[in-house]
Structure 1
Amino acid sequence: MKFMIIVKATPESEAGKMPSEQLLTDMGKFNEELVKAGVMLAGEGLHPSSHGARVQFSGNKRTVVDGPFAETKELIAGFWLIQVKSKEEAIEWVKRCPNPMDCDTDIEIRQVLEDDDFGAEFTPELREQERRLREQM
C-alpha cells in the first residue's frame, strides 16, 4: 500500500522561513530510516504558495490564480510517498517523524489509489496503458 504523508503548511513556512540546521539534521536521519527500511519512495519540501499558482476548472474554462493563498491550514509544505503494509504502519512512521515545521502543525496520511480501487471502469485496456506509462516513467 502506498501512502502520501502530507505536511501541512504553517504561517512560518508560508513566509518562507527555512528549517533550522538541527531540524534539517533530524529530518535527514528520519529520511535515512525510511530509506533503510525500504519504505520511502519520494519526499520533498515545497516552496511557499506565494511562488505557486492554481488552475481553476469550470466546465471548459481554465482560470489561473497566482499565489499566495489565504487558507494556510489547507496548504501543503512538503510530502513523503511511502510504501508500507498498512495504514497503521504509516501512522507509526509518522509518529516517529521529527516535527517538520518545528511548531504546532498537522501531518495528514492519505492512501494512494491503486488499480483495483477503480473497479470495472478501469478496463483491461486502461490498465495496460497505465502499465506502459509507468514503465516509461
Structure 2
Amino acid sequence: MRVMVFAKMDPNVPMEPTPEQLEAFQAMDRFTEELVAAGVFVAGAGLKPESESKRIVDQGTQRMVVDGPFAEAREVVAGFSIWEVKDMDEALAWAMKAPNFGMGAVEIRPFFEAADLEGFVSPEELAAPRDGDRGRLGVA
C-alpha cells in the first residue's frame, strides 16, 4: 500500500534559520534515514512557503491564477513523502515516530491501487506503461 504523508504547518510560524529550526531539520533528516533503511520511504520533499506559490482556480469554463499566500489557509502543506507500507496501521506507526515540532499536523492519504479502480478502468488501461513501471493511472 502506498500512502502520501503531508506535513502541514501553521502559516504564521516563521521559518527562520534559528538553532531550533536547524535541530528540527536534523531530526527530520534522521527520521527520513530510518524510513529509507526500513524500505518504507519512496520519495519526498519540503516545499517553499505559500508566498512563492500559485493556485489555479476553476470558475466554470474559466480559470483564474491566484498568487500566494492564500488568506483562507489555516494550515499549509510544508512537505510530503510517499511511503510503501503494509497497511494504514503501519503508516500510522511510522508517523507517530516522526519528530513532533508542535507547529502543525501530519495527514496520511492512501493512493488508489488497481483493486480500487475495478469497474472504472479496464485492466488494459491500468497496465499501459507510463512513467516507469506503473500503469496509466500510476497504480501498482
Could you tell me which residue of structure 2 aligns to residue 127 of structure 1?
126
Is 24-33 or 53-62 further displaced after alignment? Answer: 53-62
Q: CA 1:11–1:96 in structure 2 vs 1: closer, same or farther (change >3 Å)? A: same
TM-score in terms of structure 2 length = 0.83
2:73 aligned partner, one-letter code: T
Secondary structure at the counterpart of residue 81 of structure 2: strand
CA RMSD for the aligned pairs?
2.0
Q: Identity of counterpart residues, as a percentage?
A: 36
Q: Which moved more, 1:112-121 or 1:33-42?
A: 112-121
Q: Mind listing any 5+ residue stretches in structure 1 that lack a counterpart?
A: none
How many aligned positions are there?
132
Change (3 A) 1:136 1:95: closer
For residue 138 of structure 2, what is the aligned residue in structure 1? none
User: What is the TM-score of this pair, normalised by structure 1?
Assistant: 0.85
Following TM superposition, the consecutive aligned residue runs of length 4 or more in structure 1 with deviations greater than 6 angstroms are none
List per-residue Cα deviations over 1:82-107 (Å, max 9, x = no partner).
010010100010100002xx333211
Greater RCO (Cα-Cα under 8 Å, separation 6 or more): 1
Counterpart residue number, 2:48: 47
Residue 57 of structure 1 aligns with an amino acid whose one-letter code is D
Superposition deviation, residue 21 in structure 1: 1.8
Show structure 2 runs of 5+ residues with no match.
135-140
